[in-house]
A and B are shown apart, each in its own frame.
Chain A
Amino acid sequence: MENPIKNRSYDALVIGAGIAGGEAALNLANTGYKVLLLDKELSVGGKMIMLSKVFPTLDCAACITTPKVSEISRHPNITIFTGSEVGNIRKLSDNEFVAKVTRKPRYVHIEDCTACQLCEKACPVNVRDQYQFGLIGRKAAFIPFSIASPKAADIDIDNCTLCGACERACPTNCIDFTMETEILELHVKTVLIATGFNLFDPMNIPRYGYGKYKNIITAQQMERELAPTRPFNTILRPGDGKVPDKIAYVLCVGSRDASVGNPICSQICCMYSIKQAQLLMGALPMADVTIYYINIRSFGKGFEEFYQQAKGMGVNFVKGKIGRISEKENGNLMLRYEDINEGKLQEAEHDMVILSTGVLPNSGIDKLFENEKLTLDQFSFVGQSDMLASPAKTSIEGVFVAGTATGPMDIPDSILSAGAASSEAISYLIQHA
């Protein structure tokens, strides 16, 4: 529910409305505090809402995320600003922070939009859909995705040609090109950083051929192909639309790799690759799926069993880091690697390759704070000032951090970290009441 901005002061500002931010906001709101939950994207739900199924239980991601998202959007103590960014956060005293919030206009009055999609049909402009990670296109007037919250249209003004077709098509007249950027000054008592992570861009490893060879995609893109709200009716390779039957996963793309500036392990890629492999075996029973790995990190509750389950299903696990990928005329790919078990260099042919890209920090979070220094750790994630005994505390008192903003984490860990961050924030609010 987007509240009209009468009240410009809140108890807590939560930056980022993914699952960590959402969970923290709910905890604070259920305790009675007024929360402003902010996200730069058009919808709440972060990365989790775009996933297909989650490991190791194979619950459908949407089934778990949407009820939480629903609870957040209905909660009387939570105000949600999507398409918004925050900056210039100044700490005035122990229980007062002032922040500048910039709300980008959607050019649509959300409260009147019924998500009927008539504007989408009318719009003549086609651009790559960032919510489907570039697999298909979308219009410049569009609903972000079917389970978005708020489920309302947005006009991508950068690509809009101002033809007015959407305005004419809209049955409730909620499209309004006169809407402007709003800048607000907000006063809050505590700040919670839940800004999430970025995925490594495999264009930074040219020898893998991503972007050059059409049948190489990222795991995030495959996630969309597997999701129930998928862009295509089947699993296919983008080069020619063929249904693949010899699929390869390349692990540690951009992780454990000092040569691209990321020496750490991204923690989730082994598991999400094994998960996708299982889903592929289910969707394409005749297909062969091979995972090329260095070490399989299946360390959490139920993870090792999930890994053994994948082996049992017939997923091939080959120990060997892929050195180079080249393309054949038919669009198939040749993967070159040192096969550790065989002890020699091999070349394997696959018709589709999925790169399991790593987790990188979201940049610029320290720049959000003006008069106090938010320390980052050596990997540029948000620094934790008391990492073992109070993992949610940052270098600024009254500012807490949750989820993958601190480093790679899977969903259960992010949720627990959000529980801890909200607990610390609540303690802080009580102490400085």
Chain B
Amino acid sequence: MKKKKIGVYICHCGGNISDYVDVEKVRRAVEDEDIVFLAKTTMFACSDSNQREMVEDIKTNDLDGVVVASCSPKLHLLTFRNVSLRADLNKYTYVHANIREQASWAHSDNKIGATEKAIHLVKAAIAKSRYADALETNKVKAIKSVAVIGAGVAGMKAAISLSDKECDVILIEKESFVGGRVAQWDSLSTTTETGKEIVSRLYNDLIKRENITILTNSEVVENKGSVGNISLKIKKVPRYIGGSCHPEDLKRAIEVCPVEVPDEFNFRLTARKAIYKNYPSEYPQTPVIDIKNCTRCGACEKVCPAINFSEKDEILEFSVGSVLMATGFDSYTPTYGEFGYATSDNVITLPQFKRLIDTQHDKLVYKGKEIKNIAYIYCVGSRQTDGENTYCSRNCCTSTIHAALTAKNKFSDINNYHFNRGLRTYGKQEILYADSLRSGDIYLQSYEDGLPTVTVEGKKTIVKINDILSNGREIEVEADLVVLVTGMVPRADNTIGSLFKIPKGRDKFYNEVHMKLRPVETVIDGITIAGTCQGPKNIAESVNSALSAATKSYSILSKGELETDPLVATIDPEKCTWCGACEAACPFDSILKVEKDGKTIAEINNTVCKGCGMCAPVCEPDAINLIACSSAEIMSMIDALV
């Protein structure tokens, strides 16, 4: 090892570190290490002035590398690698130590311990720094094509944005029709446009673009490769209805179909046939046969010549540069008996209520009964104190009040009773709350320890609450309809998430790297997330997130090539005796069996290898090492840590 000269910078992080770790003590503890030429503390290592100072220090003192002890590398590893680059050092000579999340924040109750730990962490980083040599990045070709998974509003907007930037898009939708959740809504707040009209507008824009391929009835079943070159296998299930299909024939076919199933699109309020379209202006315009429920009786075939049961599943293959997830959300389904759900006759959910008021006119009727008194119970499935969903679903308050006002304006004699836990009509949406109060709606409030109860007494449904706004008075409402304001939950079906190994946050939605610095990226290179799959949002917020994700997905690929970190595994061909253990251990299929100089050995595919290290411990002859994480480096770090 050559004798190096490094600089060590210990960050106060504006108090986040220095409030618990004595950074000056850490500095004194490391400044005499043999390779440390200078050691400084700084208020904000990432600030412009400190970055400039680091560049100065490196150039003036001819340093070989720097170590910064600060926050998680998730925030500023790249920032400081770039500082090294600007000082004409190879960026892989930079070593990072996390003394915020790993010392100060984890041990805020033990300042002495936190400081000691920080000292060891920095010494370990210095030990690693001895080995941190210049590395060349791998350059891979970046295919200028993005797979957008989900053709709801977020997916469609992302696709349009990418198409504008002359990027090819494969828009993959699992359902038979595009539009996602917004297509299930008609009246929307702040606009006279219906949800279906917005979806139509977006679809009509999409369909004109040659660089967008729309695949419905399709799901990704396999993926290989890594950012820049991801191979996807997509299974496309047939519609069983040929292209040119006369609308009259189709209408007959739907009429004669004997099968009826609950209509998921209408939130199970109605039934549909096995051959169906959700609504007349839906896209794509061809109906579809739900083959799982179809009994193959043949009645439809007799009246419609375009029906073709011999259509087969197709497997399509595409290679893309990055993937944008826009898979949306599910609505919370209340548990059996929750506020009378499934046990009482007239308890429905908010999505069902919205469908009800949108599809009816003159009178609001449910199960044969005309509805006058409506009780809304808020926060069902959100802000749970004894359940997993501790988060707030963000837009249900606004959505409910809008639905309540719509009902009041559309039907006569509607009385709205809002049983809530504090209204969250944030921002300009506050106006809806004010309008609702002015129109005579009654608001009754409780905290989480005094939730309303729903009981059935004979033919009456009584909703009761101890209303804190009237000093705890017990108030009961005889409700014709009880609407449970159900929130957003992550999709129950996580097949696609598991396929791409997308991590989830505390609330089980997909996890972004950092809410402010990297809000649409995931820790998997090349996979971005958009819309409600990341967390509850309204339409405008989903669109903002989708456009940001599109910009990000595109920027990775725009140069036609990208650099991947060379922090991969290497195999010593002298030691390897090909046993296959590493190939079996690799989760990314990046190990190949090759012939080299008459010997069968294993070889790593550098562009696919993620440097996870699963192969290294299973190698008996110890032929595998990780670049920048070699056994020698790790051992020297361990020596510094203990």
Contact of A422 among B47, B426, B468, B551 (CB under 8 A): B551
Interface flag for A416 (CB, 8 Å): yes
Interface flag for B354 (CB, 8 Å): no
Contact of B548 among A57, A297, A423 (CB under 8 A): A423
- A-side contacts of B547, CB under 8 Å: 392, 419-420, 423-424
Q: Which residue of A lies closest to B197 (CB)?
A: A389
Contact call A69/B48, Cβ cutoff below 8 A: yes
Interface flag for A299 (CB, 8 Å): yes
User: Whole-angstrom distance between the alpha carbons of A212 and B548 in the complex?
Assistant: 46
Interface flag for A431 (CB, 8 Å): yes
Interface flag for A411 (CB, 8 Å): yes
Interface flag for B88 (CB, 8 Å): no
CB distance from B391 to the nearest CB of A (A): 5
CB distance from A244 to the nearest CB of B (A): 19
CB distance from A237 to the nearest CB of B (A): 21
Contact of B44 among A63, A303, A384 (CB under 8 A): A63
- Tally of chain B residues near chain A (CB < 8 A): 79
CB distance from A80 to the nearest CB of B (A): 12
Interface flag for A379 (CB, 8 Å): yes
CB distance from B631 to the nearest CB of A (A): 34
- B-side contacts of A301, CB under 8 Å: 391, 505, 507, 509, 515, 534-536
CB distance from A169 to the nearest CB of B (A): 21
Contact call A388/B540, Cβ cutoff below 8 A: yes
User: Whole-angstrom distance between the alpha carbons of A30 and B554 in the complex?
Assistant: 11
User: Whole-angstrom distance between the alpha carbons of A308 and B153 in the complex?
Assistant: 33
Contact call A265/B427, Cβ cutoff below 8 A: yes
Contact call B424/A299, Cβ cutoff below 8 A: yes
Interface flag for A62 (CB, 8 Å): yes
Contact call A387/B519, Cβ cutoff below 8 A: no
Interface flag for B264 (CB, 8 Å): no
- B-side contacts of A66, CB under 8 Å: 44, 46-48
Residues A56-98 near B (CB distance < 8 A) = 57-64, 66-70, 73
Contact call B47/A427, Cβ cutoff below 8 A: no
Contact call A147/B201, Cβ cutoff below 8 A: no
- With A62-B14, A264-B427, A416-B545 as contacts: A295 and B422 at CB distance below 8 Å: yes
Interface flag for A21 (CB, 8 Å): no
Interface flag for B456 (CB, 8 Å): no
Contact call B390/A304, Cβ cutoff below 8 A: yes
User: Whole-angstrom distance between the alpha carbons of A232 and B471 in the complex?
Assistant: 43
User: Whole-angstrom distance between the alpha carbons of A303 and B507 in the complex?
Assistant: 11
Contact call A295/B423, Cβ cutoff below 8 A: yes
CB distance from A165 to the nearest CB of B (A): 25
Interface flag for B408 (CB, 8 Å): no
How many contacts A-B (CB < 8 Å)? 216
CB distance from B471 to the nearest CB of A (A): 3
- A-side contacts of B201, CB under 8 Å: 389
- B-side contacts of A305, CB under 8 Å: 390-391, 506
Contact call A388/B507, Cβ cutoff below 8 A: no
Contact call A416/B540, Cβ cutoff below 8 A: no
Contact call A30/B555, Cβ cutoff below 8 A: yes
Interface flag for B161 (CB, 8 Å): yes
What string of 1s and 0s marks CB contacts (under 8 Å) between A128-170 and chain B? 0000000000000000001101010000000000000000000
User: Whole-angstrom distance between the alpha carbons of A147 and B48 in the complex?
Assistant: 8
Contact call B14/A151, Cβ cutoff below 8 A: no
CB distance from B570 to the nearest CB of A (A): 33
Q: Pick the interface stretch among B275-283, B338-346, B428-436, B605-613.
A: B428-436
Contact call A59/B516, Cβ cutoff below 8 A: yes
Contact call A70/B519, Cβ cutoff below 8 A: no
Residues B42-72 near A (CB distance < 8 A) = 43-44, 46-49, 51, 71
CB distance from A12 to the nearest CB of B (A): 14
User: Whole-angstrom distance between the alpha carbons of A67 and B50 in the complex?
Assistant: 10
User: Whole-angstrom distance between the alpha carbons of A343 and B473 in the complex?
Assistant: 11
Q: Which residue of B lies closest to A28 (CB)?
A: B551
Contact call B507/A416, Cβ cutoff below 8 A: no
Q: Which residue of A lies closest to B51 (CB)?
A: A70
- With A228-B43, A389-B198, A430-B164 as contacts: A298 and B392 at CB distance below 8 Å: yes
Residues B2-59 near A (CB distance < 8 A) = 12-16, 19, 43-44, 46-49, 51
- A-side contacts of B193, CB under 8 Å: 388
Interface flag for B355 (CB, 8 Å): no
CB distance from A143 to the nearest CB of B (A): 11
- B-side contacts of A341, CB under 8 Å: 468
Contact of B198 among A52, A299, A388, A431 (CB under 8 A): A388
Residues B456-477 near A (CB distance < 8 A) = 468-472
Contact call B198/A419, Cβ cutoff below 8 A: no
Q: 10 A-B residue contacts at CB 8 Å? A: A31-B555, A63-B75, A70-B47, A265-B425, A295-B422, A296-B422, A341-B468, A388-B193, A412-B516, A419-B519
User: Which A residues have a C-beta under 8 Å from some C-beta of B?
Assistant: 27, 30-31, 52-54, 57-64, 66-70, 73, 115, 146-147, 149, 151, 227-229, 256, 263-267, 282, 295-305, 308, 319, 340-343, 377, 379, 384, 387-392, 407-409, 411-413, 415-420, 422-424, 426-427, 430-431
